[in-house]
Amino acid sequence: MTPMSLTRPLTVGLVLLAVRPAAAQTFSDSSFALAVRLVTEGQGDSARALVRTRLAAIARGDSLYAEGLFAAGLVAAQMDSALAAFRRLSIEYSQSPWADDALLRMAQLSFAARDLATARRSADRVLADYPFSDVRAAAAYWAARVRLEEAQLAEACPLLDQAVQEAGDDVELANRARFYRQRCTGAARTDTAAPVRAPRLTFAVQVTAVGSAAATDDIMRRLAAAGYASRVVFDDGLYKVRVGQYASREQAQQAQADLRRQFGGSPFVVEERR
């Protein structure tokens, strides 16, 4: 299934999904806290204007800037804007206390948009890079949901177990994980070791590679406006904007030709193993 365009407006359900209750860390800046409250009251335009104004007054190197990017993601009007803010936070401010939560939001929103590859990478990165994060249980849950969608039951079940075990006081999360854990009941386990799954080869089109996360925003907006769901791969110090997860090289080459016709430049086909 092709991921839906990320330019669609965020629904109320997705706005609520992006706000973690109870144990969530609080904003130290009153402007960002007010902005989040405004968007839950239906004053989205005012919330976004407040965040933009406050961010403009903060130096990029200030740790408070990461908090502002997180607030920008929460109050965004469209999925692509939210993802851009969370992505930039997770890359440029990876040591910030907001980075793991930003990755979790990326996983949730990408899953909702049917971009399973981004959802998987984002959730897996929380589990791999943030061993003491308080969102690990939620990350394990969404990592499992992706694998269930991809019919990878052997990988999904341990992640659901982890979500239940680490949920703590989050009874709702534990119950959701237990619900999906029912799919694991009766799963064939005739072998003591699960067979190793061979990497799946897919093809993508790399549109550009730039040196900063901020520089990717314009091309990603243009791609989204044309109906392409793009993503960023950080590799060799570059932010590489890619489109598609095509089953064959021929499909990717067709997309490559279409992208060159619409946007110019020198897009090229790359192989990806998942």
Instruction: Write out the chain's pLDDT in tens, 274 residues.
Output: 334 444 444 433 334 334 443 334 689 999 999 998 898 888 989 999 999 999 999 998 898 999 999 999 999 988 888 999 999 999 999 889 999 999 999 998 888 888 999 999 999 999 999 988 899 999 999 999 999 999 899 999 999 999 999 988 888 889 999 999 998 875 544 344 555 565 678 899 999 887 766 677 778 888 888 888 888 777 666 778 889 888 889 999 999 999 999 888 889 998 887 6
Together in a domain, 249 and 154: no
Which of 160, 179, 197 is the endpoint of a domain? 197
Q: Are 5 and 84 members of one domain?
A: yes
Q: Are residues 255 and 184 in the same domain?
A: no
pLDDT of residue 209: 83
Q: Determine the pLDDT at residue 17.
A: 39
pLDDT of residue 25: 60
Q: Specify whether 8 is located in the same domain as 96.
A: yes
The residue among 197, 216, 239 that closes a domain is: 197
My answer on whether 23 and 46 are in the same domain is yes
CATH code for the domain in which residue 236 is found: 3.30.70.1070
Please check whether residues 88 and 4 belong to one and the same domain. yes
Phi/psi at 102 (nearest 5 deg)?
Answer: -65, -40
Two structure tokens written together for 107:
């996983």
The answer to whether position 47 is within a domain reads: yes
Q: Of 109, 143, 174, which residue is a domain's last?
A: 109
pLDDT of residue 23: 36
Q: Are 105 and 22 in the same domain? A: yes
Residue 63 included in any domain: yes
Give CA 25 to chain center in angstroms. Answer: 19
Secondary structure of residue 243 in the 3-state scheme: strand
Q: Is residue 5 part of a domain?
A: yes
Residue 119 lies inside a defined structural domain of this protein: no
Confirm if 107 and 119 have CB atoms less than 8 A apart.
yes
Domain total of the chain: 3
CA dihedral (161, 151, 122, 51) in degrees, to 10, reads -100
* Of 134, 106, 133, nearest in space to 120 by CA: 106
Quick one: pLDDT at residue 225?
Answer: 82
Yes or no: say if 244 and 204 are a contact pair by the CB < 8 Å rule.
yes
Quick one: CA dihedral 113, 118, 120, 126, positive or negative? Answer: negative
Tokens found for residue 252 = 């990717």
Q: Could you tell me if residue 23 is inside a domain?
A: yes
Answer whether residue 258 is part of any domain.
Answer: yes
Residues 7 and 71 in one domain: yes
Same domain? For 176 and 208 the reply is no
In this structure, the answer to whether residues 3 and 50 fall within a common structural domain is yes
67/5 same-domain check: yes
> What strands lie across the sheet with 238-246, from one edge to the other?
230-235, 238-246, 201-210, 268-273
41 CB-side CA count, 13 A: 10
Residues 206, 182 within the same domain: no
The answer to the question of residue 189 being in a domain is: yes
Is the pTM here over 0.85, yes or no? no
Domain that holds residue 89: 1-109
Q: Is residue 130 part of a domain?
A: no
Q: What is the pLDDT of residue 194?
A: 53
- pLDDT at residue 15 in the model: 40
Q: Is 154 exposed, middle or buried (0-12, 13-18, 19+ CB in 10 A)?
A: middle
Strands (E), the chain: 201-210, 230-235, 238-246, 268-273
